[in-house]
Structure 1
């Protein structure tokens, strides 16, 4: 039989993703704090959508470890848990290590310049205590390896693991301890510029593992 018409599937998919990202970001940035109850009617009113995409988003957030949902009971934002955070950190570090190892042989001047520029913005944001800009610049820095490596599974895995770690990132980037990452980024750029894939990969891994797993709200 002929393939059926999509009937708005793409639009629905985009809506579902938008709802998920909105709730996820509100949890990560602290708008919804650990232990806070998430009520469907309030989320529907806030996002202006029906219950179906809300429930789909909450299921994804539960799989990501960001909420705890008990059927027939409350759905709450998950507390910061050292074990879960450490597990996410290990996965994120391993994925970025692999991305660096694959990407370095493929890097050109433009990619290295993009990393240098992103690290400059990162240092500037930290110097001005701007956590949002620091996070964006750090994402841009690491995105060069991820975007160049040619392995499409890496960003998919990161999309699952990184949100759980992001709450700890926000804490670190609010402290002076994050200044170390500027130097670590510079060393990664130096090794990548030399074509040292193993060195850049290991330095990238250590950069992510140095994040720490503090769980202070």
Structure 2
């Protein structure tokens, strides 16, 4: 495993979450490639933590479909395949549909303003070809709605499914096809401003189903 140049520190109270986040982000951004072996000793050297939080983080990553563990043998970064990507996309679309339906009558004017700012920043990142910023502002946009929906289980399910999709989404957000997402976000904002729960739900679902996460995209991400 290639160890990043800059060590990352973890506070004691958030140790497990930080180890998980560091490994998850390294897999999503391609630092840790599909098929790459994860060794406890390498991760210890990188993050400066003991094996217990590493193993707990790996278990969470396995549940999210990002690593494959063979007990007593090895742990590797999971390949990107069309079936798992498609399954995750369906679940994510359903969760965002539910979040939109629940949030529409509850979301505040300040939250709607934040949706507009997040989408403007998303559009600027796409125009600049900054894929990392685009993904960050897309998360920011959808987090407003998920946070306003009042159902904590939606966020818990999305924590499992979204990282798997992000590996493939990096290809889309680095292309002109991502501009469609800006328009789709605008449709969501109009629906939620009108407090139209069904229109918000439908637009949120369609946004995630329109990502273009095809078998070809999955194969390219796994290459």
> Any idea what SS the aligned residue of 2:207 has?
helix
Distance 2:42 2:13 in 1: 22
Distance 2:148 2:63 in 1: 28
**Unaligned residue ranges in structure 1 (runs of 5+):** 1-10
**Unaligned residue ranges in structure 2 (runs of 5+):** 1-10
Deviating more after overlay: 42-51 vs 12-21: 12-21
Q: Which residue in the other structure is 1:122 paired with? A: 122
Q: Which residue in the other structure is 2:192 paired with? A: 192
Q: Which residue in the other structure is 2:66 paired with? A: 66
Q: Which residue in the other structure is 1:112 paired with? A: 112
Distance 2:82 2:124 in 1: 30
Q: CA deviation at 1:200?
A: 1.2
Distance 1:14 1:111 in 2: 28
1:122-173 CA distances to partner (integer Å, 9 max, x unpaired)? 0000000001111111111111111111111111111111111110111110
Q: CA deviation at 1:35?
A: 0.7
Deviating more after overlay: 113-122 vs 103-112: 103-112
TM-score normalised to the size of structure 2? 0.90
Moved over 4 A (4+): none
Distance 1:38 1:180 in 2: 36
Q: How does 1:1-217 map to 2 (within 5 A)?
A: 14-213=14-213, 214-215=217-218, 216-217=220-221
How many pairs align? 207
Larger Rg belongs to: 1
Distance 1:60 1:111 in 2: 31
Distance 1:53 1:144 in 2: 30
Distance 1:139 1:92 in 2: 13
Distance 2:125 2:38 in 1: 32
> Any idea what SS the aligned residue of 1:49 has?
coil
Q: CA deviation at 1:72?
A: 2.2
